[in-house]
Amino acid sequence: MALILNGKELSQTLRAEIAQQVADFIQKTGVTPCLAAILVGDDPASQVYVRNKEKACAAVGMKSQLFRLPAETTEAQLLELVDQLNRDDSVHGILCQLPLPKHIPEKVILDAISADKDVDAFHPTNVGLILQGRPRFLPCTPFGIQEMLKRYGIETSGKHVVVLGRSDIVGKPMAAMMVQRGAGADSTVTVCHSRTKDLASITSQADILIVAIGKPKFVTAEMVKDGAVVVDVGINRTDAGLVGDVDFAAVEPKASAITPVPGGVGPLTITMLLGNTLKAANYKLGLN
Ligand code: NAP
């Protein structure tokens, strides 16, 4: 029986800690940390994500502002809003909910968000700082995974971490974080993707297997070493409901620890966004 890494429970613990830190911050500075969220168009999933982010801010005592723009918004109009938020001293964190409508190049918008307010850690400056081992912000999903490994006391030093998936949001930053020196890292890292040959021979060498590919139940028992720690980032909507990228029922008996879907990695992502927003407010006041 594998240890179930309960992201929902951990998320509640972390949010209680952040709420206390926010209260202390407000008492000390008289400033309430504020997250500005930009939502362009009416993608239903994005609307749910943004609403959840707003609720989460309120629950830990932070402010949030939602900027809803119609799908026809031009690149120039969106850049103008980003510029306005960059210059607004009462806004500490800015996020632009992805995906954007096709006519707006995401990179241009993400690059325009001030690196000091880039709580998603997508800005090239922040990505570079992560790679150099002196991060300002960590991207929320990999940050949540690393925090989970730490809080559950899972040894990462000298362990072979195999990251399956090389997205800019999860796979690449996850790999960059695990290879750094220090607590929750110091791992030997292999990154796999769709061009990787003989994938199972590599994943089955993993002490810690982190999967983010967006393919329901892709990782089977044969791909996992006995006693491995398995972290499933996948969120796939199927007829049978939400499933991860890992075949949980088949892999769980082989693993020493595993994240469920839902209730594993998912709840931690917004929690880390709250932590990043508080951090951004601290930066703004020169408290970091
Ligand atoms: P993505 O941008 O969709 O990229 C998928 C990655 O998986 C790519 O690097 C791709 O390789 C690789 N891949 C696809 N098929 C593969 C195969 N058959 N064998 C090996 N590699 C394969 O990924 P993402 O944005 O990181 O999302 C991945 C999953 O995580 C999705 O289910 C998403 O919903 C979920 N997710 C969850 C959270 C959360 O829990 N909060 C956050 C973000 C994402 P190539 O690069 O070669 O194409």
Whether the domain at 31-115 and the domain at 140-266 fall into the same CATH topology: yes
Instruction: Give the residue numbers marked as catalytic.
Output: 53, 97, 120
Using CA atoms, how far residue 235 sits from 148, 176, 266, in Å, is 18, 22, 8
The pair of three-digit structure tokens given for residue 252, joined into one six-digit string:
């769980």
What are the sequence ranges of the domains in the chain?
31-115, 140-266
Q: How far apart are the C-alpha atoms of 145 and 160, rounded to whole Å?
A: 16
CA angle 67, 62, 33 (to 5 degrees): 85
Residue nearest atom 22 of ligand 1, based on CA coordinates? 194
Å from CA of 205 to ligand 1 middle: 20
CA distance 8 to 267: 6
- Per DSSP, the three-state class of 93 is strand
Q: Which residue has the tokens 């307010």?
A: 117
- List of residues 6+ apart from 94 with CB closer than 8 A: 35, 36, 38, 82, 85, 86, 113, 114, 117, 118, 119
pLDDT at 107: 97
Q: Is the CB of 211 under 6 A from ligand 1?
A: no
Predicted pLDDT at 288: 75
Burial zone of 287 (CB within 10 Å; 0-12 exposed, 13-18 middle, 19+ buried): exposed
How much is the pLDDT for 275? 98
Helix (H) or strand (E) holding 231: strand 229-232
Phi first, then psi: give them for residue 162, nearest 5 degrees: -105, 120
Q: Is 203 in the pocket of ligand 1 (CB under 6 A)?
A: no
CA of 259 to the centre of ligand 1 (A): 17
Can you list the residues of the chain whose pLDDT is less than 70?
none
C-beta 219 within 6 A of ligand 1: no
* pTM greater than 0.85: yes
Q: pLDDT, tens digit, for every residue of 136-194?
A: 999 999 999 999 999 999 999 999 999 999 999 999 999 999 999 999 999 999 999 99
Distance 218 CA to ligand 1 centre (A): 11
Instruction: Note the CATH architecture for domain 140-266.
Output: 3-Layer(aba) Sandwich (3.40)
Does any ligand 1 atom lie closer than 6 A to the CB of residue 145? no
**CATH superfamily of the domain spanning 31-115:** Leucine Dehydrogenase, chain A, domain 1 (3.40.50.10860)
Q: What is the predicted pLDDT for the residue at 283? A: 95
Cβ-proximal residues to 93 (8 Å cutoff; 6+ apart), any chain: 33, 34, 35, 36, 117, 119, 273, 276, 277, 280, 281
